């Protein structure tokens, strides 16, 4: 089971996006767990859950470099969520991006 976790400033739109991503994963019978959290608890969540992929909402994209330095050496892939997909709450596109990131890391 791959874990794709979304982090943002508040969590409302990101929770809806995570739900759409989980639905897309379930519809395609993919072994993926998608969850959303406020970025303030990222360290605590990472320690407990060890997600495979960390995606940042557009509001916190300025944290990407710091997050990459901290979590990529530990094995997580990190990226920002495309603002257009985020705004449209396009879970299928964001899930596709996360899966590609995870696959590229393995290659």
- 8 is known as an active-site residue: yes
Closest CA to 10 of 35, 39, 34: 39
For residues 94 and 30, what is the distance between their CA atoms, to the nearest angstrom? 14
DSSP 17-72: HHHHHHHHHHHTT--EEEEEEEGGGHHHHHHHH--SEEEE-GGGGGGHHHHHHHHG
pTM of the predicted model, to two decimals?
Answer: 0.94
> Choosing from 3, 6, 7, 8, which is the catalytic residue?
8
Q: Tens place of pLDDT for every residue, the chain, 107 residues?
A: 999 999 998 767 799 999 999 999 999 999 999 999 999 999 999 999 999 999 999 999 999 999 999 999 999 999 999 999 999 999 999 999 999 999 998 76
């Amino acid at each position: 089971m791959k874990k794709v976790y979304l982090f943002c400033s508040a969590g409302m739109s990101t929770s809806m996006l995570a739900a759409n991503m989980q639905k897309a994963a379930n519809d395609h019978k993919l072994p993926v767990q998608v969850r959303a959290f406020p970025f303030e608890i990222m360290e605590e969540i990472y320690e407990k859950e060890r997600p495979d992929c960390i995606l940042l909402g557009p509001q916190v994209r300025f944290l990407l470099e710091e997050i990459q330095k901290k979590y990529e050496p530990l094995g997580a892939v990190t990226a920002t969520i495309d603002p257009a997909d985020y705004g449209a709450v396009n879970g299928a596109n964001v899930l596709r991006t996360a899966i590609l990131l995870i696959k590229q890391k393995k290659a």
